[in-house]
Amino acid sequence: MEKLIAQLNALDLKLSSIGFANALISYDALTQAPKKAVNARAQAMEGLSTFYYDAFITPEVKSLLDTLHEHLEELDHATKGKVRVLRDQYESLACIPAQEYAAFHALVAKSSVAWEEAKEKSDFSIFAQLLEQVISSTKKFIDYRGKDIPRYDQMLDDYEKGLTMAKADVFFDELRETIVPLLKRIQEEGMDIQKDFLDMSYDKAGQKAFSEFMMEALGFRMDAGILGESVHPFTINMSRDDVRITTRYQENEMISTIASTIHETGHALYEQNVDEDYGLSCIATGTSMGIHESQSRMFENNFGRSKAFWSQYLPKLKEQFPKQLQNVSLEAFYKAINVVTPSLIRVDADELTYSLHIMIRYEMEKRIMGEDLDVNELPKIWNDLYEAYIGIRPENDGEGILQDVHWSEGLMGYFPSYALGSAYAVQFVNAMSKEVDIDQALEDGDFKPINAWLEKHIHRFGSTKTPEEILLDATGEPFNPKYYSDYLVNKFSSVYGLS
């Protein structure tokens, strides 16, 4: 058995070295690589994925994983996790022919660049053909599995083990029933909230300095990661000791930058606090998109849009931007950063309407995967849904269907985890509050007890537990979206002075 475990660890390390390279290539591509680099990069990624595939998808590896799986109960926690993660990967990969798998990596490298150009020029036609190819490859890959389960159910499960359209429908229906009437009440009865000071110009250098200050204050280990800049903010990890987040600076949207930085720092803390003993490994990373998003949303919203938090940090923000903020009270600032405004851009959405943006993507993905839509119809479907759910219509594709990077990278089935993450976050915070005086910690700007709780119950496990296990063990109950809808109603009724 020891010999088998050694083989597993050697395989894991080798595969992880390709993962490391791919992560760095992606980070580089999205932050600084020159335009012309795209073709050779696509060739290189194709070559690397061939190495990965050839080393992984072999009868020997299959038999190794199966044998270890038969003796699962004899294995230690980390090894169990590796077997589970690699078997899942094996299963979804083995059915895809090697050449198609390599070609898909090359395709995605190109489509990401096309998306970036299309977004810049607000021209969907630049991206349409490559998106079409990404969609059809994705469908084909799912179909190769030969399972009698709807495509999109399988995709949801890939990102969030156990999630199905049936469950997601229940969750979204519940959210819709909470958010839509609440939004209506806010618009009809809510008090006016002043936020003109947030719309003023804040210089980029100051935003950068405050972003770096914030990261460190939240517990980001500054010698184990960097803050970069990209069109769309993201977090990527080469290892727990090299976790990179990006943000983007817009002069008239300071609070959006800061919220992004806090959000990505939430992701980063998860990665930086994975058990050190796991080393470079498939288990040394967050377990699911939903749990990951719960960490980022918790920092962004539950902490980063709370009054307690800003009682500590508003004075610091004022030091950075005295001119713009000198006469702003804590109460006024708190309300301003929680203004509810139906808007077009997901990443700029307020906490309340955010899930509506996700619902739109969820419904589109359901249709894309279940039907044979013409890719050229997608912008119109997108715009119609925005009009129907949020009440406003994008004027161009840049502020419409082109706003998110995900589809260009083949990430479909991923969006629902964003909404799920917000709901998990509230459930976690509820459990945490039984052991930690969260408001006090926020008022003190002392993230040690908060991060200690998160590390103990969530972060350190990396991918060795499933999302369900994490939720159950950390909160004592399975996923319960009620915490989230209650939280939304309480918070926004209070912000808008509704009785």
Residues annotated catalytic, as ranges = 264
- Of the pair 247, 294, the CB lying nearest its own copies is at 247
Q: Which of residues 325-364 bind its own copies (CB under 8 A)?
A: none
Looking at beta carbons only, is 78 or 442 nearer to its own copies? 78
Q: What is the DSSP string of 215-239?
A: HHHHT--GGGEEEEE-SS--EEEEE
Least distance from C-beta 58 to its own copies, angstroms? Answer: 13
Binds its own copies by CB under 8 A, chosen from 217, 280, 332, 472: 280
Q: According to the binding rule CB under 8 A, does residue 34 interact with its own copies?
A: yes
Give the residues across from 244 on adjacent strands. 226, 236
Rule CB under 8 A: choose which of 123, 157, 229, 241 binds its own copies. Answer: 241
Say if residues 431 and 440 touch (Cβ distance below 8 Å). Answer: no
Residue 3 binds its own copies, judged by CB under 8 A: no
The residue (of 6 and 388) whose beta carbon lies closer to its own copies is 6
SS3 assignment, position 467: helix
Nearest approach, Cβ of 17 to its own copies (angstroms)?
3
Whichever of 48 and 163 has its CB closer to its own copies, that residue is 48
Q: Least distance to its own copies from the beta carbon of 222, Å?
A: 8
| Contacts of its own copies in 44-73 (CB under 8 A) | 44-48, 50-51, 55
Classified as helix, coil or strand, 243 is strand
Is residue 384 at the binding interface for its own copies, with CB under 8 A as the rule? Answer: no
Question: Closer to its own copies at the Cβ: 205 or 388?
Answer: 205
Question: Which range of residues in 210-218, 240-248, 257-265, 414-422 is near its own copies by CB under 8 A?
Answer: 240-248
Give me the long-range contacts of 230-235 (CB less than 8 A, separation at least 24).
Answer: 230/30, 230/31, 231/30, 231/116, 231/119, 231/405, 232/30, 232/347, 232/404, 232/405, 233/260, 233/261, 233/263, 233/264, 233/347, 234/30, 234/264, 234/405, 235/264, 235/267, 235/268, 235/271, 235/296
Residue ranges in 201-230 that form contacts with its own copies under rule CB under 8 A: 221-226
Interface region with its own copies, contact rule CB under 8 A, candidates 15-23, 186-194, 364-372, 374-382:
15-23
Q: Are 38 and 113 in contact (CB under 8 A)?
A: yes
For its own copies, the closer of residues 204 and 346 by Cβ is 204
Q: Using CB under 8 A, which of 43, 99, 187, 440 touches its own copies?
A: 43
Q: Which region, judged by CB under 8 A, interacts with its own copies, from 20-28, 146-154, 191-199, 367-375? A: 20-28
Query: Any contact of residue 24 with its own copies (CB under 8 A)?
Result: yes
Report the residue from 36, 196, 322, 327 that binds its own copies according to the rule CB under 8 A.
36
Q: How far is the CB of 284 from its own copies (least distance, A)?
A: 9
Question: What three-state secondary structure class fits 247?
Answer: strand
- Cβ(326)–Cβ(318) below 8 Å: yes
Nearest distance from residue 285's CB to its own copies, in Å? 12
Judge whether 295 and 270 are in contact, CB under 8 Å.
Answer: yes
* Spatial contact of 400 and 457, defined as CB atoms under 8 Å apart: no
Query: Which tokens in the block code for residue 121?
Result: 């020029």
Tell how strand 225-229 and strand 235-239 pair up.
Answer: unpaired
- Residue 5 is inside which H or E element, if any? helix 2-31
Would you give the distance in Å from CA 209 to the centre of its chain? 24
Q: Does 190 bind its own copies (CB under 8 A)?
A: no
- Asked if 470 interacts with its own copies (CB under 8 A), we say no
User: Please, which residue, 225 or 421, has the CB nearer to its own copies?
Assistant: 225
Q: Binding its own copies by CB under 8 A: which of 40, 98, 200, 205? A: 40
Nearest of 287, 263, 298 to residue 423 by alpha carbon: 298
With CB under 8 A, what is the number of residues at the site for its own copies? Answer: 41
Shortest separation between residue 66's beta carbon and its own copies, angstroms: 24
How many other CB atoms are there within 10 angstroms of residue 260's CB atom?
Answer: 24
- Identify the residue among 153, 242, 351, 404 touching its own copies (CB under 8 A): 242
Instruction: Figure out which of the listed residues 4, 7, 9, 17 binds its own copies, where binding follows CB under 8 A.
Output: 17
Q: Which amino acid is at 383?
A: N
* CA gap 333, 335 in Å, rounded: 5
338 burial via Cβ count (<10 Å: 0-12, 13-18, 19+) = buried
User: How crowded is residue 371: how many other Cβ atoms within 10 Å of its Cβ?
Assistant: 7
Q: Which of 150, 206, 279, 342 binds its own copies (CB under 8 A)?
A: 279
> Taking CB under 8 A as the rule, does residue 114 contact its own copies?
no
Sites for its own copies among residues 125-164 (CB under 8 A): none
Contact flag: residue 196 with its own copies (CB under 8 A): no
Burial (CB count within 10 angstroms: exposed 0-12, middle 13-18, buried 19+), residue 232: middle
Q: Let me know: does 228 contact 31? Beta carbons within 8 Å.
A: yes
Q: SS3 for 379?
A: helix
Decide whether 148 or 223 has the Cβ nearer to its own copies.
223
Instruction: Give the x-and-dash track for 73-102 against its own copies (CB under 8 A).
Output: ------------------------------
Q: Report the interface residues with its own copies, using CB under 8 A.
A: 13-14, 16-18, 20-21, 24-25, 28, 32-37, 39-41, 43-48, 50-51, 55, 221-226, 238-242, 279-280
